[in-house]
């Protein structure tokens, strides 16, 4: 009896020192690698990136191992993801954008896999790190800008000059257009990062509530968590989709320039 009381007291005492919800985002170094003085350590983030890449590769290869005319379920899923991204590129960029389809597909599947892997308990959410999402967004931004200049040369700058506007307004509008163009990588990366981080922080906070409130009151936050987990899985899909489709839209701007 004394032991049980002590345990209960311990649990209640924990309420004053709830687990830090940001703890889950900490980078842990599993393997210290420092080639040429650069920190290339194998971290928990790297581990989940490797897992995601392996899962996607295994899934696509396993699904297509039989090359069935009438697809099995897993082959069907692979084909649906292919068609889904292919249609996204075709609808938003047109057939001329199909040469960038492998990149968009990789981007979509990679972000989706990282988001979904993050939903597993005790896992690490790579996309909850701004540096990762910013690197992806910056790569997309630089690539798209480069494609625009290669395709249209200096005329690409016309993208910042809206048509049918009084000349007096032009300086102001060009400045606004340039700023909105330059903030694209920021908004693209922050959208994904913030969604992931906020969702996982929420889950952690409510998880701590469940433990803190114990058997009597813990049911309410637990019920909320069940619903919220479903929402987070939806967000995982949605954010991967948004990331991919915005990349398509930026690519379309660079290729066709109809602003």
Partner 1 sequence: MPQLNPLDWAPQLIWLVITFGLLYGLMKWVALPRIGSLIETRQAHIARDLEAADRLRRETQEAIAAYEQALAEAKQRAHAIAEEGRIKAKEEVAAERGRLETMLNAKTADAEARIHAAKSSALKEVDAVAVEVAAEIVRKLIGVAPSKPEIAKAVAAAREE
Residues near partner 1 (CB under 8 A)? 22, 25-27, 29, 38-43, 45-46, 49-50, 52-53, 56-57, 60-61, 63-64, 67, 69, 71, 75, 78-79, 82-83, 101-103, 105-106, 109-110, 126, 128-132, 135-136, 193, 197
Rank residues 43 and 92 by Cβ distance to partner 1 and give the closer one. Answer: 43
Full DSSP string of the chain? -HHHHHHHHHHHHGGGGPPPTTGGG---EEE---GGG----EEHHHHHHHHHHHHHHHHHHHHTSS--SS--HHHHHHHHHHHHHHHHHHHHT-GGGGGGHHHHHHHHHHHHHHHHHHTSTT---GGGSHHHHHHHHHHHHHHHHHHHHHHHGGGGGGGGS-SS--TTTHHHHHHHHHHHHHTHHHHHHHHHHHHHHHHHHHHHHHHHHHHHHHHHHTHHHHHHHHHHHHHHHHHHHHHHHHHHHHHHHHHHHHHH---
Rank residues 102 and 230 by Cβ distance to partner 1 and give the closer one. Answer: 102
Rank residues 75 and 229 by Cβ distance to partner 1 and give the closer one. Answer: 75
Q: Find the shortest distance in angstroms from Cβ 95 to partner 1.
A: 14
Q: Find the shortest distance in angstroms from Cβ 233 to partner 1.
A: 22
Q: Find the shortest distance in angstroms from Cβ 97 to partner 1.
A: 15
Rank residues 197 and 212 by Cβ distance to partner 1 and give the closer one. Answer: 197
Rank residues 15 and 27 by Cβ distance to partner 1 and give the closer one. Answer: 27
Q: Find the shortest distance in angstroms from Cβ 81 to partner 1.
A: 8
């Amino acid at each position: 009896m004394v032991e049980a009381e002590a345990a209960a007291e311990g649990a209640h005492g924990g309420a004053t020192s709830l687990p830090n919800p940001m703890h889950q985002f900490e980078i842990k170094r599993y393997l210290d690698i420092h080639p040429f003085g650069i920190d290339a350590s194998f971290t928990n983030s790297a581990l989940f990136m490797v897992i995601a890449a392996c899962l996607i590769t295994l899934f696509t290869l396993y699904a297509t191992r039989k090359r069935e005319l009438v697809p099995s379920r897993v082959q069907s899923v692979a084909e649906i993801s292919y068609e889904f991204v292919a249609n996204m590129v075709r609808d938003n960029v047109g057939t001329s954008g199909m040469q960038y389809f492998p990149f968009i597909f990789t981007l979509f599947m990679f972000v989706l896999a990282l988001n979904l892997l993050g939903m597993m308990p005790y896992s690490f959410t790579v996309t909850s790190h701004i540096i990762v999402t910013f690197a992806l967004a910056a790569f997309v931004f630089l690539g798209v800008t480069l494609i625009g200049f290669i395709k249209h040369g200096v005329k690409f700058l016309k993208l910042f000059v809206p048509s049918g506007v009084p000349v007096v307004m032009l300086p102001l509008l060009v400045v606004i257009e340039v700023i909105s163009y330059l903030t694209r990588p920021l908004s693209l990366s922050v959208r994904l990062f913030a969604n992931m981080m906020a969702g996982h922080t929420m889950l952690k906070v409510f998880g701590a509530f469940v433990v803190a409130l114990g058997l009597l009151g813990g049911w309410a936050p637990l019920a909320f968590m069940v619903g919220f987990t479903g929402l987070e899985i939806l967000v995982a899909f949605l954010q991967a989709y948004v990331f991919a489709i915005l990349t398509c839209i930026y690519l379309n701007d660079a290729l066709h320039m109809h602003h």
